[in-house]
Amino acid sequence: MESFGAYIIDTDKLAREAVAPGSDALREIARAWPPVVRMGGLDRGALAEIVFHDPGARERLNAIVHPHVRRLADAAEVYAKPGQIVVQVVPLLFETNYDERCDASILVVAPADQRIARITQRDRLSEEQVRARMASQIDPEEARARATYVIANDGNFAQLKERTREVYDSLSPA
């Protein structure tokens, strides 16, 4: 959407900023799980092993990090130009009810086998690790039902770009 003129706020990047060394969120995480903070920084792999196998720990982590991310996203939004469409990329859009803060929600979804292949390649995770993360996410059919727009990411890049353009055009003021 950025290539079409939207202002993008990537909350995954903001989450990394929220837990940067010296941050309030990192201090809260260190109190909750001391072994995951090493040499002043967050050991993401160690934290992932905890939260993707313990729903209570995941909820606690989300309760720590998400308020900080929301504040950062609100602060970033002021940099959008007047009338510019603002797109917030939110990995846990529906799980955290973040969609309720938005004028519209867009779900980009791919078949499970494609998601697993892409994530194992991109993040160098095992299939088991990817499946554990997927199991912690909203059911894709429930997400489809909640989304204002659904973009199928089951083809090539040109198809994805065209589908994205169609959604962008429908969001743009006439």
Taking a C-beta distance cutoff of 8 angstroms, is the pair 85, 172 a contact? yes
> Which of 90, 89, 88, 95 has its CA nearest to residue 137?
95
pTM of the complete model beyond 0.85: no
Query: What is the pLDDT at residue 16?
Result: 94
Q: Which CATH number fits domain 90-174: 3.30.360.10, 3.40.1260.10, 3.40.50.300, 3.50.50.60?
A: 3.40.50.300
Give the mean pLDDT of 134-158: 91
Q: pLDDT digit string (tens) for 66-90?
A: 999 999 999 999 999 998 999 999 9
Q: pLDDT digit string (tens) for 43-68?
A: 998 999 899 889 899 999 999 999 99
Contacts (Cβ under 8 Å, ≥6 apart) of 114: 153, 154
**DSSP 8-state code for residue 101:** G
Report percent pLDDT > 90 for the chain: 68
Residue 174 has pLDDT above 70, yes or no: no
Taking a C-beta distance cutoff of 8 angstroms, is the pair 129, 53 a contact? no
CATH number for the domain whose boundaries are 12-83: 3.40.50.300
Question: Cα separation of 129 and 123, whole Å?
Answer: 10
The pairing of beta strand 37-38 with beta strand 41-42: antiparallel
H or E element that contains 48: helix 44-51
**CATH 3.40.50.300 intervals, the chain:** 12-83, 90-174
